Amino acid sequence: MGIMKSLRRNLSGFLKKLFNKENARIGIYGPPNAGKTTLANRILRDWTGDAMGSVSNIAHETRRARRREGVNIRANGNSLSLDIVDTPGLATKIDFHDFMGQGMTEAEAKRRAKEATEGVIEAVKWLDNLDGVILVMDATEDPYTQVNVTVIGNMEARDLPLLIVANKIDLPESSPSTIREAFPQHPMVSISALEGKNIDTLYEQISKRFG
């Protein structure tokens, strides 16, 4: 390639970046029931007025990744445009008997288990298309799980920015400090996605980490 052509291409890429900055694509990951969709709904409600998806106390409510583009967040005096992806809960074992124990028929339970398994695969595939990850953990549960350790290891290997969210701090048995101690190498914010507690600190951290 000639020098002029190469210069022109570099310059046009630079200008595109400067004036037409693409949104940062941020995936919300974590185990089932951690509160990923509750958080996605809160972020969308705060900044767009919409919602992302349905929430349930039965695991694997989200079974397809959902993306909302162009969510403008303002924090620390900056404005940041994000594409937010709510992903299906990651699990190492999905057993339809668990859903039957929660009142589903065998057919419903088997369908949910199959879709949940496909959802896990879809969530993992999405990792290739992201600029950063919010990893949501339920602060009432043991954080040192295969799922959490695998997501964190994957992010570190890809050198992608990661923000850990210790969710459900409205519950008296929650222990965000256990999460911080388990993964001290990454920034963490404690919130209640349900009640909105500490959510402004989360937006500040999102702006800092992904801006």
Ligand X SMILES: Nc1nc2c(ncn2[C@@H]2O[C@H](COP(=O)(O)OP(=O)(O)OP(=O)(O)O)[C@@H](O)[C@H]2O)c(=O)[nH]1
Phi, psi dihedral angles at 59 (to 5 degrees): -60, 155
Tokens of 93: 């074992």
68 binds ligand X (CB under 6 A): no
Least distance (Å) between residue 146 CB and Mg ion: 19
Amino acid residing at 47 = W
The reply on whether position 167 binds Mg ion by CB under 5 A is no
57 in contact with ligand X (CB under 6 A): yes
- Number of other CB atoms surrounding residue 193 within 10 Å: 26
Report the residue closest to ligand X, judged by CB: 89
Minimum CB separation of residue 160 from ligand X in Å reads 20
Closest to ligand X by CB, 83 vs 86, is 86
Distance CA 196, CA 193 (A): 5
Q: Which of 21, 37, 36 is nearest to 78 (CA)?
A: 21
CB of 33 to ligand X, least distance (A): 4
Residue 37 touches Mg ion, criterion: CB under 5 A: yes
In this structure, the strands spanning 66-75 and 78-86 are antiparallel
15 binds ligand X per the rule CB under 6 A: no
Shortest distance in whole angstroms from residue 36 CB to ligand X: 4
HSE-up of 126 (CA within 13 Å, CB side)? 26
Closest-CA residue to 57 (of 44, 41, 38, 30): 38
202 lies in the site for ligand X, by CB under 6 A: no
Minimum CB–partner distance for residue 37 and ligand X (Å) = 3
Q: Which amino acid is residue 38, in one-letter code?
A: T
Sheet holding 66-75, edge to edge: 66-75, 78-86, 24-29, 132-138, 162-167, 188-190
24, 27, 29, 33: which one contacts ligand X (CB under 6 A)?
Answer: 33
**Alpha-carbon distance 207 to 81, whole Å?**
10
Taking CB under 6 A as the rule, which mask of x and - marks residues 80-119 in contact with ligand X?
Answer: --------xx------------------------------
Candidates 30-38, 117-125, 133-141, 200-208; binding stretch for Mg ion (CB under 5 A): 30-38
Binding site for Mg ion (CB under 5 A): 36-37, 61-62
> What residues make contact with ligand X under the rule CB under 6 A?
30, 32-38, 55-57, 59-62, 88-89, 167-168, 170-171, 192-194
